[in-house]
Amino acid sequence: MNRFSKTQIYLHWITLLFVAITYAADGTPWLVS
């Protein structure tokens, strides 16, 4: 495996986390500490 593909996978997971956090911040009560 190349480092480039690993970086792409890492960026993909960061994007998914960002979308999930944005979705949760939009009035969704399932991500409350």
User: What is the spatial distance between Cα 10 and Cα 3, in angstroms, rounded to a whole number?
Assistant: 10
Single pTM value for the model: 0.54
Q: Each residue of 1-33: pLDDT tens digit?
A: 677 799 999 999 999 999 888 877 776 666 555
C-alpha 11/C-alpha 14 separation (Å) is: 5
DSSP state for residue 29 in the 8-state scheme: T
